[in-house]
Structure 1
């Protein structure tokens, strides 16, 4: 295999607080190749966005990043600000959650798409902006619109056009469809899949919805308490979860056509642990319906759980 677009080796992120360092990401290993899509799932507070934003060092100043985060083989944590400025947009870019908040409300969307093109000197600006809008399914004339003149789905397409502006190899999409209705959500997901296939780029997509990730991404990684607890091919992970947390996430959403699941979805009681006060042993054991005595003292790391699958659990997945 060639060099990956993104590779994380024992990546960590801690936040400096008055009470000391608080771990948000704890030793994550991930890899994304050209043309590959990876979904990152988990509840709020599990470290998904922190992990993703560490790729381009878009974290607050009190964040301390450790391990290796290799973008095209180059360690992001060792880049100077000049090199980092050159890498952002050109090698990797971000589609943020909530386009209305990410876009400047008093600037036309065409000018916002044009900004990274000008910064990186990527050719004739006006023509490139029109090409990008058409690439994401919007007419070029919409470049003169202000964000409030566009629908939610159109604004999200503008964000995707901005992310593509400098032809990066990797796109990070942080909950790109959360605020959209079901029909528009399906259109945006189909657009992302189409762009990955046509442009041979890599996609790291974050969501709490396993079904959304499974429909868009080839591989799925599930995160809990700052660690990956399961990773494998999306269809297999969704069909037969190896980790109890993955199973709980999948069961939290009602199944279409199943009245029983619609009226009584199987949720998960409680919340993820406070990163500053992680429980001993497996961090999921206080909420795990399958927890054993050993789980409260043994912190299990990822281990094989089938073909091309790993899981951080003492339980054996049923065939």
Structure 2
């Protein structure tokens, strides 16, 4: 079942950088089929940041990889993914290879695992420029230095190997690499994972500045609603492969309309609020196994305000205030 389309703001021309419609991802076939993403719709415009939140196992990373067709052969995709109006799911391999750098790029989790340990970081940043921009070796090296300075590192660090950099510096290198071919869309999957609070703040401010200065569209994925509320224009909450709530980021964080969104928000202590610091509420249990989803609303077994009908009837996204929607029968009460 399609969940409808959530809005991430239009670009200056009124069009969308990214538009996904009824997007589903299933791993395996037949009785072993596992639905990881179920009927997701989303749009994202230039100069807009869309946050995607949810616990581990809710389908966030699978959705991100699906947008650029980076999933393994065992994954079956259906629906539509339009990047600047061109359907990613029907692209030939050569066109898709070019689009992954020049049209859209991704910053993966864990920079140390994403960077090649035996190559200098300058060479790794220069590689997409050599392949996709047909730059000369000297021009690519010069541009790599410029990109490092753009993300707050001296150009001389281009000669360093990944293990010679701190976690925050490696994350900056990943961002520089993602920006190398000047894509219009960047997908950042947990870009601040495992970084200390001070470095995390620096990376987030860097990302905000790049979106504002270059007018790129950014999708940022995290389990931390507080980070997304502070960084993003709009926020979507994902559970069991579906979008269950979306709206202005601060509004969703401060007063979520879906009980799952409220539980995520309450799980993080808030500065200046002793009650949340001393007794964060959290949420008992774990997200359901995608291979054995419960009937009705997938969140019903963990929901503190579920009604009897929730065990039988799934809920579509419905209006939950100005510019907001939530997939809950109690919306509007």
Task: Name the TM-score, length of structure 2 as normaliser.
Answer: 0.93
* Alignment equivalent of 1:180, drawn from 190, 195, 215: 195
- State the shift of 1:130 in Å: 1.0
Separation (CA, whole Å) in 2 of partners of 1:269 and 1:289 = 10
Question: In structure 2, the residue corresponding to 1:307 is in which secondary structure?
Answer: coil
Separation (CA, whole Å) in 1 of partners of 2:233 and 2:134 = 31
* Alignment equivalent of 2:228, drawn from 213, 220, 223: 213
- Listed as ranges, the gaps of 5+ residues in structure 2 are 1-12
Runs of 4+ with deviation above 4 angstroms: none
* Native 8 Å contact 1:41 1:207 kept in 2: yes
Question: In structure 2, the residue corresponding to 1:148 is in which secondary structure?
Answer: helix
* Alignment equivalent of 2:184, drawn from 169, 177, 200: 169
Instruction: Count residues in correspondence.
Output: 318
Separation (CA, whole Å) in 1 of partners of 2:167 and 2:196 = 9
Residue of structure 1 in register with 2:68 after alignment? 56
Separation (CA, whole Å) in 2 of partners of 1:112 and 1:127 = 13
* Native 8 Å contact 1:232 1:309 kept in 2: yes
1:279 aligned to 2:297? no
Residue of structure 1 in register with 2:5 after alignment? none
Residue of structure 2 in register with 1:6 after alignment? 18
Question: In structure 1, the residue corresponding to 2:301 is in which secondary structure?
Answer: coil
Separation (CA, whole Å) in 2 of partners of 1:310 and 1:239 = 15
1:191 aligned to 2:206? yes
Question: In structure 2, the residue corresponding to 1:153 is in which secondary structure?
Answer: helix
* Native 8 Å contact 1:122 1:166 kept in 2: no
* Alignment equivalent of 2:82, drawn from 53, 70, 76: 70
Counterparts of residues 128-147 of structure 1 (less than 5 Å): 128-147=143-162
Question: In structure 2, the residue corresponding to 1:88 is in which secondary structure?
Answer: helix
Residue of structure 1 in register with 2:306 after alignment? 291
Counterparts of residues 21-100 of structure 1 (less than 5 Å): 21-100=33-112
- State the shift of 1:110 in Å: 0.2
RMSD (CA atoms): 1.1
Task: Name the TM-score, length of structure 1 as normaliser.
Answer: 0.97
Residue range with higher mean Cα deviation, 13-22 or 244-253: 13-22
Please give the per-residue CA displacement for 1:94-117, whole angstroms capped at 9, x wherever unaligned.
111110110011110000001111
* Native 8 Å contact 2:315 2:329 kept in 1: yes
- State the shift of 1:47 in Å: 0.4
Separation (CA, whole Å) in 1 of partners of 2:245 and 2:134 = 39
- State the shift of 1:317 in Å: 4.7
Question: In structure 1, the residue corresponding to 2:209 is in which secondary structure?
Answer: helix
Counterparts of residues 298-317 of structure 1 (less than 5 Å): 298-317=313-332
- State the shift of 1:126 in Å: 1.5
Question: In structure 2, the residue corresponding to 1:30 is in which secondary structure?
Answer: strand
Question: In structure 1, the residue corresponding to 2:157 is in which secondary structure?
Answer: helix
- State the shift of 1:87 in Å: 0.5
- State the shift of 1:206 in Å: 0.2
